């Protein structure tokens, strides 16, 4: 069992490292050997995980509006948060999915330089989340199911965004989604970048395209903090495991939406057909569930996420370390 | 910057800074240095310049709760390593070290208590444990605090001090945002209230989830309350930052928090708000 071998190696590795920490002795040869062995047994490789990151950010990958025009009929885009501004990084609107009116939310990155700048590379301002919230409220009132397409490097980290309440907007958008009684299906179609992504992804069904990524922090940001250099982004990506397969295994998403051979960027029409089918089938599953029950299950779904242990006994490692002289 | 003062304070004995970091008992704002007992007596607020030093979770509870009323819950919860996260060190190793350093199981302490004789539930973060980062244990403890508050029909007082989600638990850490948000909504649906006290720093994933959902939100003076911290904003956008960028004072001006409450006034303030939210609205004081 490759898995067991890996666990065993990791265990030995962390023990060896802690011994090094204790006595300052040089055991680097043994460490390096174990690390190499570990890399052989691990699957997928660091490079393979990094490929998902690159595909998720591929400049030819279809964006929200590319899917909207292929999946929805009679789409009408809605603009502005009714308070302060219009945020082109967030698309909202109404359209028909298999004949039924649905509300759409989704980030939009922009295709050429001009468009990218206008759309702020898909990095939403608080105004964008407030626009999404106003459309969610309308959807609730008219019993329109909601489709949310997530594709953002993250919420915009700027002075004005902070002054306009970025943190609070992300929190309140999630809170609103947890209160809705209409079906919500979210799909990460490219980058699912941290708080900026979860702000519109508190859904009944959370899907992820095969080559999308979903992460608490960008590999670059993680590398800058933990390795103290952005250069280690490949290692950081491998540690964060932001790919669809790992995210599914952790129970964070419900299903992986297949992409055409080679990735969504190779065939937009086929990618849209596959995504449209997945959205439709999720909607069908949810449509029979009464609103209150839907909301109860949605909250329970997120309530259950997390891995922890109940323990009153200290581990072997901790007793070893307890003897470190100051 | 306020001038250093020389009364009752052991200036002559100020220790040499270790690795360029001032001694924890030296005020980073005015340079005054205090004995442990002087700091504790002043609730870890510099009597000279009003700088609010960091407060550990248990110290905070001792400052706020009526003596002997705190009953801890879920103390046995410990983080796991679901991603087998390994950067320059193993996550498991960091956890062991954090527990030894802080004496805490993780970055949050929860339990039942009374503040000025009003029963409540408290959920207090400890920045000393891995930067107060929110992983599965913090998320779970916060949810249990919400449930406990709802069951007992009391208000939840949350005190946050956190750098955000814990990277080492990857996407599961991000999921603690919606998880805690759902817990607050359940508490509110049950008729419960939440008072959010934001201490320095309350940033990123914690600001973008439960901390921002208090019925009443107050901040400690000088606390950084920002989704993205000043260094990253500066590096990413090259914008010129205002002097008070992200600070509690600017958050009040922009309408994101109800008030700034100094630590010496926090207990009576919370007592007053708790009485206003208590079921009969006229709780004896």
With beta carbons under 8 A apart, name residues in chain B contacting A127.
none
A285-306 pLDDT per residue, tens = 999 999 999 999 999 999 999 9
The residue-averaged pLDDT of A108-117 equals: 95
CB contact under 8 A, A321 and B96: yes
Residue A321 pLDDT grade (very low, low, confident, very high; cuts 50, 70, 90): very low
B51-80 pLDDT per residue, tens = 999 999 999 999 999 999 999 999 999 999
Residue B279 pLDDT grade (very low, low, confident, very high; cuts 50, 70, 90): confident
Q: Which two tokens stand for residue B273?
A: 């708000």
| Tokens 């002054």 -> residue | A163
User: In 10 A of CB A302, how many CB atoms?
Assistant: 27
CB contact under 8 A, A216 and B173: yes
The residue-averaged pLDDT of A145-170 equals: 97
Residue B5 pLDDT grade (very low, low, confident, very high; cuts 50, 70, 90): low
Interface probe, candidates B143, B174, B207, B237, chain A, greatest A C-beta count within 10 A? B174
Averaged pLDDT of chain A: 89
CB contact under 8 A, B136 and A307: yes
Residue A317 pLDDT grade (very low, low, confident, very high; cuts 50, 70, 90): very low
Which one of B87, B88, B140 has the shortest CB-CB distance to A308?
B140
Residue A323 pLDDT grade (very low, low, confident, very high; cuts 50, 70, 90): very low
Q: Say whether pLDDT at A50 is over 60.
A: yes
- The answer to whether A82 touches A109, Cβ cutoff 8 Å, is no
Angle at A217 between CA A214 and CA A222, to 5 degrees: 130
The residue-averaged pLDDT of B260-266 equals: 97
What's the pTM value of the predicted model, to 2 decimals? 0.88
- The answer to whether A188 touches A215, Cβ cutoff 8 Å, is no
Q: Say whether pLDDT at B283 is over 70.
A: no
Long-range residue pairs from B215-218, CB within 8 A, at least 24 positions apart, any chain: B215/B188, B215/B277, B216/B258, B216/B273, B217/B256, B217/B257, B217/B258, B218/B257, B218/B258, B218/B259, B218/B260, B218/B261, B218/B266, B218/B269
CB contact under 8 A, B226 and A162: yes
pLDDT at residue number A271: 98
Give how far B224 is from chain A: nearest CA, Å: 11
Size of interface A-B (CB pairs under 8 A): 222
Q: Find, in chain A, the residue whose alpha carbon is nearest to that of B252.
A: A163
Residue A228 pLDDT grade (very low, low, confident, very high; cuts 50, 70, 90): confident
CB contact under 8 A, B171 and A216: yes
Please tell me which of A11-20, A30-39, B6-15 the model is most confident about, judged by mean pLDDT.
A30-39
CB contact under 8 A, B176 and A214: no
Residue A258 pLDDT grade (very low, low, confident, very high; cuts 50, 70, 90): very high
CB contact under 8 A, A321 and B100: yes
Q: Say whether pLDDT at B204 is over 80.
A: yes
Q: Say whether pLDDT at A314 is over 70.
A: no
DSSP class of A264: G
Beta bridge partners, B160, equal B198
With beta carbons under 8 A apart, name residues in chain A contacting B83.
239-241, 246
pLDDT at residue number B18: 63
- Domain boundaries in chain B? 1-53, 54-277
The residue-averaged pLDDT of B147-162 equals: 98
User: Quick check: ipTM above 0.85?
Assistant: yes
Q: Phi, psi (5° rounding) for residue A197?
A: -85, -50
CB contact under 8 A, B87 and A239: yes
**Closest by CA position to A31, among listed B89, B93, B82, B80:** B89
pLDDT at residue number B21: 78
Instruction: Out of 3.90.226.10, 3.40.50.300, 3.40.50.2000, 3.30.465.10, select the CATH number for domain B54-277.
Output: 3.90.226.10
pLDDT at residue number A44: 83
The residue-averaged pLDDT of A144-164 equals: 97
**Closest by CA position to B57, among listed B117, B111, B3, B135:** B111
Give how far B115 is from chain A: nearest CA, Å: 27
pLDDT at residue number A230: 75
């Amino acid at each position: 069992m490759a898995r067991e071998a890996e666990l065993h190696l990791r265990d030995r590795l962390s023990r060896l490292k802690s011994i090094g920490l204790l006595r300052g002795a040089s055991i680097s040869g043994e460490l390096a050997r174990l690390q190499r062995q570990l890399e052989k047994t691990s699957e997928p490789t660091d490079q393979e995980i990094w490929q998902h990151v690159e595909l998720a950010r591929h400049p030819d990958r279809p964006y929200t509006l590319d899917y909207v025009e292929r999946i929805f009929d009679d789409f009408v885009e809605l603009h502005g948060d009714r308070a302060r501004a219009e945020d082109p990084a967030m698309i909202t609107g109404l359209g028909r999915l298999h004949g039924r009116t649905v509300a759409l939310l989704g980030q939009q990155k922009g295709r050429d330089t001009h468009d990218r700048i206008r759309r702020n590379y898909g990095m939403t301002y608080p105004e964008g989340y407030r626009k999404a919230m106003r459309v969610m409220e309308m959807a609730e009132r008219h019993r329109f199911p909601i489709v949310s397409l997530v594709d953002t490097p993250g919420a915009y980290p700027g002075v004005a965004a902070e002054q306009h309440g970025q943190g609070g907007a992300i929190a309140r958008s999630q809170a609103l989604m947890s209160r809705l009684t209409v079906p919500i299906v979210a799909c990460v179609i490219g980058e699912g970048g941290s708080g900026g992504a979860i702000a519109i992804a508190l859904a009944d069904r959370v899907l992820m395209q095969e080559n999308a990524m979903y992460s608490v922090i960008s590999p670059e940001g993680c590398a800058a903090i933990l390795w103290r250099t952005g250069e280690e982004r490949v290692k950081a990506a491998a540690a964060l495991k932001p790919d669809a397969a790992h995210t599914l295994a952790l129970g964070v998403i419900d299903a992986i939406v297949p992409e055409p051979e080679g990735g969504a960027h190779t065939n937009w029409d086929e990618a849209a057909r596959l995504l449209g089918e997945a959205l439709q089938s999720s909607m069908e599953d949810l449509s029979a569930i009464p609103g209150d029950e839907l909301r109860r299950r949605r909250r329970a779904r997120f309530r259950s996420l997390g891995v922890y242990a109940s323990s009153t006994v200290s581990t072997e490692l901790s007793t070893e370390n307890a003897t470190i002289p100051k | 910057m306020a001038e250093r003062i020389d009364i009752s304070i052991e200036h002559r004995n100020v220790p040499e800074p270790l690795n360029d970091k001032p001694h924890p008992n030296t005020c980073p704002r005015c340079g005054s240095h205090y004995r442990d007992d002087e700091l504790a007596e002043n609730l870890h607020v510099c009597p000279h310049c009003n700088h609010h030093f960091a407060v550990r979770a248990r110290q905070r509870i001792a400052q706020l709760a009526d003596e002997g009323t705190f009953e801890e819950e879920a103390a046995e919860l410990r983080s796991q390593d679901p991603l087998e996260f390994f950067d320059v060190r193993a996550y498991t190793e960091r956890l062991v070290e954090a527990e030894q350093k802080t004496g805490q199981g993780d970055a949050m302490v929860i339990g039942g208590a009374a503040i000025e004789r009003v029963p409540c539930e408290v959920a207090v973060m400890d920045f000393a444990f891995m930067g107060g980062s929110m992983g599965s244990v913090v998320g779970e403890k916060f949810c249990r605090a919400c449930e406990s508050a709802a069951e007992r029909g009391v208000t939840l007082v949350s005190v946050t001090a956190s750098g955000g989600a814990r990277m080492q638990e990857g996407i599961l850490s991000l999921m603690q945002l919606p998880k805690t948000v759902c817990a607050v909504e359940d508490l509110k649906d049950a008729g419960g209230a939440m008072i959010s006290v934001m201490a320095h720093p309350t940033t990123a994933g914690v600001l973008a989830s439960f901390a921002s959902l208090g019925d009443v939100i107050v901040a400690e003076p000088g606390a950084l309350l920002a989704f993205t911290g000043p260094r990253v904003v500066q590096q990413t956008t090259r914008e010129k930052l205002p002097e008070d960028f992200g600070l509690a004072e600017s958050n009040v001006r922009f309408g994101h928090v109800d008030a700034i409450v100094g630590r010496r006034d926090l207990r009576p303030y919370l007592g007053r708000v708790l009485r206003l939210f208590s079921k009969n609205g006229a709780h004896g004081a």
